[in-house]
Chains A and B, each alone.
Chain A
Amino acid sequence: MNALQQSLEAARAEHRIPGMSVAIVADGELRLASTGITNVTTGVEMTTNTIAHIGSITKIFNATLVMQLVDEGKLALERPVIEYLPEFRLGDADAARSISVEQLLNHTSGIDANLLPDSGHDNETIENAVVRFATVRQVHAPGAARSYCNAGTVVAGYLCQRITGSSWYDLVKQRIFAPLGMEHAAVLPEDALLHRPSVGHFLNRSTGEMVRTTHTFLPLSFAPAGSTAMMSAESLMTFLRAHMADGVGPNGARILSQESAQRMRRLSGDVKGPSCFDGGIGWMLLGRDFVHHGGGGPGIISWFLAHPESQTIVVVLTNAEQGFAAANAVIGPFIESRFGYVAFPSAKPSPEAPFDAAAYVGIYENYSTTHEITARDGRLFWRPQARAQYYDNSPMEKTAARPLIPTESGSFITDATGSAEKYPSTVAIGFAAPDARGRNEYLIYSYRMHRRRNR
């Protein structure tokens, strides 16, 4: 067994992942491996041809469609969206008038619609999602901060539909999958059924058993943000290689101009306020010129990391909610050994670090989640509550308060399961933008800003 297969199987076993698939390009060589099963209920094996959810990695596909229209002179990133979509409305009329195309893609639009509740199959159209945005509020003023924004990417996908007159699904198939020859890729549930598809799983935190998700995708109207796309690690690699080669696929097909491909990987937006991450256009940026993106969904996590200069790319697809740790167990050592760079360092707890509880206590929220921070006996506690059942494990009820542990970086970590279970899940929680009294205006969780209620 080769080293890649070994590291994959070890990661799968350690993190209790049903199935994983990996693709690596380094030194001009493509390597593939897979392990486990696509679905614990059916027991069908994961192969290198298995299509698995890529979740929000789709956002780079979506951004590529927009940049193709920029290449064709049909869109300018700097222009307000409303110039192309005169009917574009948000709860905040000023924001709707000023948000630029670029702000949709670099997560600085501030539109507070991380996800909307499922409105039923026939209503879950991309157009309807945009209509529903007409009443949502802003997490921050356009351009003022950077908070991961699904809504912006949905509007960008809709914009592509409107400008081309084709459905977003057809655009992905015809302008990306087909020219690059991505055979094991689907962007519609009905197309996914033609393949060997994977499905998500949740970890029963007390028994360690994996349980199949009850629903395959996040609501379909958020397709451009990444609800539906599924592909093999190899097909995703083909797409990423096209970007690393500045727009030219391994098969020689050009899907994007060199200028646009490079622009996508540069820092985008002059953000003065809090920034939850560094963002290009579609891409997320890391140190040492690495780019990356992750994807989540109901019981899935997928991730890739790429180093454009050396054309090194690692893709890991998993079908488990706790898949990030497993993906990082493959990606991390590989990148560290080659570059001496730790892409995703884990936060170092600093339990004794002093803090002013008053700066943090309060209720923070965005459209989909409310976070309550309380203080007791000199400790901080966190209690999340979802506003809609997006995942089988979305905390819909008032959950037990989890203690927050200070870290060396000034943020906090906690066990999202509430410390009561055999299989914990560590998450990081940050705070930003203190007011004159030192009270933070924002809580940052999962790249997203949640604004303090009753400021």
Chain B
Amino acid sequence: MNRRELQDALDAARVKNNVPGASVAFLAGGKVTSAVSGVANVTTGIEVTPDTIMHVGSITKVMNATLVMQLVDEGKVALERPVIDYLPAFRVGNAEAARSITVEQLLNHTSGIDANLLPDSGHDNETLDNTVARFTSAPQLHLPGRARSYCNAGTVLAGHLSRRLFGASWYDLMKERIFAPLGLERAAVLPEDALLHRASVGHFADPASGKNVRTSHTFLPLGYAPAGASNMMSASDLLTFARTHMSGGLAPNGARLLSEENAARMCRRSGPVLGGPEAFDCGIGWVRGTNGFVQHGGGGPGIVSIVIIHPESKTAAVVLTNAEHGLRLIVDVLRPFLKAEVGVDPFAAQPQPLADQKIDLTPYPGLYENNTVVFDVAIKDGTLTLSALVKHKVYDSSLVEWSAPRFLAAAGEGWFLSDEPGALPLRLLDPDARGRTRYLAQSLWLFGRRDGDQREARSG
């Protein structure tokens, strides 16, 4: 890979997509190529450099899963065992779910615990212990193992489990068991550590002017740290971590992070899901993409990042951005380079609207929700519409009032496309006995029909 080409592509994509700053690192043919562009913070104007640490968001989940797999390596945990075997005090709202949820289900997003995010409870209360305590009243989105929906709560619990079994704080585990052995010097998992570095901060595009505005808060609530609230790294340090996984757990510096067996296991499909709805395909920690790619994305207040690996060809890439709308830059930069290197498209084709929009709409209308968002699917003038409401403000851009309804076009097999520019496609799926869809799926999340029969799972 040519560094100049990468730099030009990144600069162009950054300007085209109005992103303040980005950092990219590629591994291809055993060689690392990197580039940076723009500023870390529009208010201060400090430049992004190769040493700049940026939010990795939920990519942290792969590191968090690595800690659990280290416990598996050490024979301290078996993935198949119920969590309650290791944490006798483990409780969620549904007592039966608490007894049956396995360690693996925490990591492969099939636990069904409906606590995507909880409202910020204030700095001193945002501890892992307190977050786990708050889960004791969380309902289920689905029965454990029955479906797959991206589950922050499960990963927080997995982090709590690591903490308890290793007997150290989760933050220290990240530093001592991941950063230190791999020699990651541009990495911080605590805000106070991030201050030692040249650190980036998130931005939102002002809807009126299009100008990027610095976020008002740096992180999602810290009680969700194992799910990816607080972690910040340079692109090249994150690439070192990804490379270690592709090398069977062996780091470039020769340190063994994980056994070869468990590194491979993390990339394999983890489930099985017993005929239920799946919002996405998943390993342990990793998300399984198309064409042999394995990846993870990360979000946060005004940030989007990705790590993507192709184990077969030993190709990997990291893109970190400090804009809410950074995904467009990620696709623009990654797609041509990965296609050229691996020969296949790293991103699945988007569904296209059907030529014939005359379909039966009766299975779909209703309210679909998880603990943070509710969607209203309705029929207006013979067409489906969609509006959304965020239950508690998570980002500066969170809509805490109902959004104006957008029209949905059918795209086949339950897929629908909103007429809102940039909106993600969604699916309505899993019909009940009356033929009504139980779930709405968007991106990696399932939202359960309010008053649908899946609600039996909720309180148990």
Q: Which residues of A contact B (CB under 8 A)?
A: 39, 41-42, 44, 49, 120-123, 125-127, 167, 169-170, 188-197, 199, 212-217, 220
CB of B430 closer than 8 Å to a CB of A:
no
Q: In the complex the two chains form, is B195's CB within 8 Å of A193's CB? A: yes
Q: Is the CB of A199 within 8 A of B172?
A: no
Give the complex CA separation of A212 and B196 in angstroms: 8
Cβ-based interface call for B201 (8 A):
yes
Contact of B218 among A127, A170, A190, A212 (CB under 8 A): A190
Residue numbers in B under 8 Å from A49 (CB-CB) = 44
* Residue B399 lies at the interface, judged by CB distance under 8 Å to chain A: no
Q: Is the CB of A170 within 8 A of B44?
A: no
Task: Name the A residues within 8 Å of B218 (CB-CB).
Answer: 190-191, 193-194
A42 surroundings in chain B (CB, below 8 A): 49, 51, 197-198
Given contacts A42-B51, A125-B127, A167-B125, 11 further A-B contacts (CB under 8 A): A41-B197, A44-B198, A125-B124, A167-B123, A169-B123, A169-B124, A170-B122, A188-B123, A190-B222, A197-B195, A199-B195
B contact residues, range:
20 to 34
A188 to B219, CA, bound (A): 12
Quick check: is B171 within 8 A (CB to CB) of the other chain? yes
Give A192 to B44 CA distance when docked, in angstroms.
Answer: 12
Residue from B41, B192, B217 in contact with A220 in the complex, judged by beta carbons closer than 8 Å:
B192
Listed A/B pairs (23) with beta-carbon separation below 8 Å: A39-B198, A42-B49, A42-B197, A44-B198, A120-B169, A121-B190, A121-B192, A122-B128, A122-B129, A122-B169, A125-B127, A126-B124, A127-B124, A188-B191, A189-B190, A192-B191, A193-B195, A194-B201, A195-B43, A196-B44, A196-B46, A213-B196, A217-B192
The contact of B44 among A39, A122, A125, A195, by CB within 8 Å, is: A195
Flag if B124 contacts A216 (CB, 8 Å). no
Residue interface mask B396-438, A partner, CB < 8 A = 1: 0000000000000000000000000000000000000000000
Residues on B with C-beta less than 8 A from A193 are 191, 194-195, 199, 201, 218
Q: Within 8 Å of chain A (Cβ to Cβ): is B215?
A: yes
B197 & A189 in contact (Cβ 8 Å cutoff): no
Q: How far is the CB of A138 from chain B (nearest CB, A)?
A: 27
User: Which A-B residue pairs are the 6 nearest by beta carbons?
Assistant: A189-B191, A122-B127, A125-B124, A42-B198, A196-B44, A190-B191
Contacts of B196 in A (CB 8 A): 39, 41, 199, 212-216
Any A CB within 8 A of the CB of B214: yes
Q: Smallest CB–CB gap between A123 and chain B, Å?
A: 8
**Chain B residues within an 8 Å CB radius of A215:** 192-193, 196
What number of A-B contacts does a CB cutoff of 8 Å give? 88
**CA A216 to CA B195, docked complex, whole Å:** 7
Please measure, in the bound complex, the distance between the C-alpha atom of A41 and the C-alpha atom of B49, giving whole angstroms. Answer: 12
Please give, as numbers and ranges, the residues of chain B lying within 8 Å of A122 by CB-CB distance: 127-129, 169, 171
The 8 A CB mask of B177-205 against A (1 = contact, 0 = none) is 00000000000001111111111010000
Give chain A residues whose Cβ lies under 8 Å from the Cβ of B215. Answer: 194
Output the least CB separation between A121 and chain B (Å): 5
- Asked if B41 contacts A194 (CB within 8 A), the reply is yes
Q: How far is the CA of A123 from the CA of B171 in the complex (A)?
A: 12
B199 in contact with A120 (CB, 8 Å): no
Find out whether the CB atom of B124 lies under 8 angstroms from the CB atom of A121: no
Please give the distance in Å from B120's CB to the nearest CB on chain A: 11
Which residue of chain A lies nearest to B200 when distances are taken between CB atoms in the complex?
A193
Which of B125, B127, B195 is the one whose CB lies under 8 Å from A189? B195
Question: B107-144, CB under 8 A of A: which get 1 and which 0?
Answer: 00000000000000011110111000000000000000
Tell me the bound Cα distance from A213 to B195 in angstroms: 11
Please indicate the chain A residues that have their CB under 8 angstroms from the CB of B125 in the complex.
125, 167
Nearest B residue to A220 via CB reads B192
How far does the alpha carbon of A41 sit from the alpha carbon of B198 in the complex, in Å?
A: 9
Chain B nearest Cβ from A164, distance in angstroms:
13
Cβ 8 A contact of A192, one of B43, B49, B195, B197: B195
Nearest neighbor of A168 in chain B, beta-carbon distance: B124
Nearest Cβ on chain B to A55's Cβ, whole angstroms: 15
Give, as a whole number of angstroms, the nearest-CB distance from A225 to chain B. 15
